[in-house]
Amino acid sequence: MEQKLIYGIQQIGVGVDDAAKGFEWYATRLGSDVRVFDDNNTATYMAPYMGGEPREKRAILAVNMQGGSGYEIWQHTGRKPEAQKTKFQYGDLGINVAFVKTRDVHASYKRLKAMGEQILTEIGREPDGKKCFYLHDPYNNILKVKEFDSWYATNGPDTGGTYGCALGVSDIEASRKLFSDIIGYDTVIYDREGTFADLKGVPGGKARLRRVLLGHSATRTGGFSRLFGESQLELVQLLDAKANPIFANRYWGDIGFIHLCFDIKNMKALTEECAAAGFPFTVLSNDDFDMGDANGHWGYLEDPDGTLIEFVETHKVPIVKQIGLSINLKNRDPKKPLPNWLVKAMALKRVRFKK
C-alpha cells in the first residue's frame, strides 16, 4: 500500500463571529487576500463537536501568495459563537497562537501599530534567537509575527502566511508521538524551561513553562508544498499551574483557533497508521466531499489533549469558476509539486479592499 504523504500545513481554523469582516482583517493586515473558497452551507460531519447537531456556517479559506499556510475563517451563522469561558493563559490546552512569517519584523510591527492593532508585546527574541512580537486579532485570537526564511515569493507586503502554531499540551512526550512520529516534526530546534522574556505581555506569559520548538527534517514535496513552505510547531506545557482546555463546554467553530489542518495524500494509509498508534480518526468525510467550489477527502483526530487536527486530501481547487479553470490533484504524480504558473494562477482569486 502507498505510504501517506504530508505536503505541509494547509491552514489554521479561526473561529470568529463575522467571517466577512474576519477575512477583510486577515487580508488587509496580514496579506492573506486570496479567497480560495467561500462556503455557506450546513456542517454535518462535525456534529459530534457541535452539540450533536448539524450547524449552519460560513467558512472562507484565505491565503497569502507569498507563501505559508492559510486561515480557514469559520463562523457559526445559526447561533452566536462563544468565547473561551475561562480566562486564557499561555499553555492552556489547545492551539494558543498562530505563527505569521515576516521578512522585516520591525516594518511589520511599525505598520500594524500604526493601523491601531492590539499589539501585546514589544519586539523580543525567542530562545532560537529570532525576533518576534505578539498581537490580538479582532476576536482576541493571538498571533505571533516572527522572522522566517521560507518564502514562495517576496513581491508583496512584509508578512506572509502562517507557518505553524503553539499548542498547549499536558505532556510533551505524549504529544510528540503524534506530531513527531506520525506528522514528521522530528527536529528539536529548542527545548527550554523557565520564564520567557518574549512572552511578556501575552496573557499568562509570566508562568513557568516548558517550550519545545519542532521542525521537520524531511523536505515536504508534491502538490502545494512549495507554497506552504517549511513549518514549525511549538509544544507548550505549564509547569506550575493547571492548564484549562480552551474549548471546554464550547462548540467547534466557536471563537478561537479551532483546528490545525495538514494537506496530505493517501488518506487510507494515514488513517490506518494513526489508528495503530492510538490516534483514531473521530470524523471522516466521504471520498469526494465538496467544500464550496473545492473538493477533497478530509477527516479529524484528537491529539492527546483533545485538540482537533484535520487532514485534507485535496482533489480540486477552483481558479476561475466561470470558465471551469481549476487545479486537479487527484490523478497527478503525488510527489511532483504543482508548476509555479498554476499555483500563481490562484492570485486570480485575490480580493481587493478599499484602503
pLDDT in tens, 213-262: 999 999 999 889 999 999 999 999 999 999 999 999 999 999 999 999 99
**C-alpha span between 226 and 68 (Å, rounded):** 9
C-alpha distances out from residue 164 to 9, 41, 171, Å: 7, 28, 19
Q: What is the pLDDT of residue 347?
A: 92
pLDDT digits (tens, 9 = 90+) for 260-275: 999 999 999 999 999 9
CB atoms near residue 188 (< 10 Å)? 12
Q: What is the pLDDT of residue 189?
A: 98
What is the share, in percent, of the chain residues with pLDDT greater than 70? 94
Q: What is the pLDDT of residue 296?
A: 74
Contact, 228 vs 8, CB < 8 A? Answer: yes
- Phi/psi at 152 (nearest 5 deg)? -90, -40
Q: What is the pLDDT of residue 324?
A: 59
3-state secondary structure 155-214: CCCCEEEEEEEEEECCCHHHHHHHHCCCCCCCEEEEEEEECCHHHCCCCCCCCCEEEEEE
Q: Which domains does the chain have, with CATH numbers?
A: 5-349 (3.10.180.10)
* Torsion of Cα atoms, 18 then 20 then 22 then 24, to 10°: -150
Q: What is the pLDDT of residue 297?
A: 86
Q: What is the pLDDT of residue 345?
A: 87
pLDDT digits (tens, 9 = 90+) for 179-224: 999 999 999 999 999 999 999 999 999 999 999 999 999 999 988 9
Query: Which pairing describes strands 232-238 and 159-168: parallel, antiparallel, or unpaired?
Result: parallel
**C-alpha span between 199 and 252 (Å, rounded):** 27
Contact, 235 vs 178, CB < 8 A? Answer: no
Query: Which pairing describes strands 187-194 and 209-215: parallel, antiparallel, or unpaired?
Result: antiparallel
Rounded to an integer, the average pLDDT of 164-193 is 98
Burial class (CB in 10 A: 0-12, 13-18, 19+), 287: exposed
Which range, 82-86, 324-328, 339-343, has the best average confidence (pLDDT)?
A: 82-86
Query: CA-based angle 332:336:338, to the nearest 5?
Result: 80
Kind plus residue range of the DSSP H or E element containing 274: helix 267-276
Short-list 166, 146, 162, 147, CA closest to 228: 162
Rounded to an integer, the average pLDDT of 139-160 is 96
Short-list 174, 177, 302, CA closest to 247: 302
Q: What is the pLDDT of residue 355?
A: 66
Instruction: Give the N- to C-terminal CA distance of the chain in Å, as an integer.
Output: 52
Q: What is the pLDDT of residue 354?
A: 81
For the whole model, what pTM was predicted? 0.94
Q: What is the pLDDT of residue 332?
A: 80
**C-alpha span between 88 and 199 (Å, rounded):** 14
Q: What is the pLDDT of residue 321?
A: 62
Rounded to an integer, the average pLDDT of 41-69 is 96
pLDDT digits (tens, 9 = 90+) for 281-328: 999 987 765 555 556 789 999 999 999 999 999 876 666 665 556 677
Q: What is the pLDDT of residue 287?
A: 72
Which one-letter amino acid corresponds to residue 9? Answer: I
Whether 1 shows a pLDDT value over 60: the answer reads no
Which residues have a Cβ under 8 Å from the Cβ of 280 and sit 6 or more positions away?
271, 274, 301
Of 345 and 169, the one with more pLDDT: 169
Rounded to an integer, the average pLDDT of 109-124 is 98
Mean pLDDT estimate for the chain: 93
Short-list 79, 66, 56, 81, CA closest to 33: 66
C-alpha distances out from residue 117 to 22, 139, 185, 341, Å: 14, 12, 32, 35
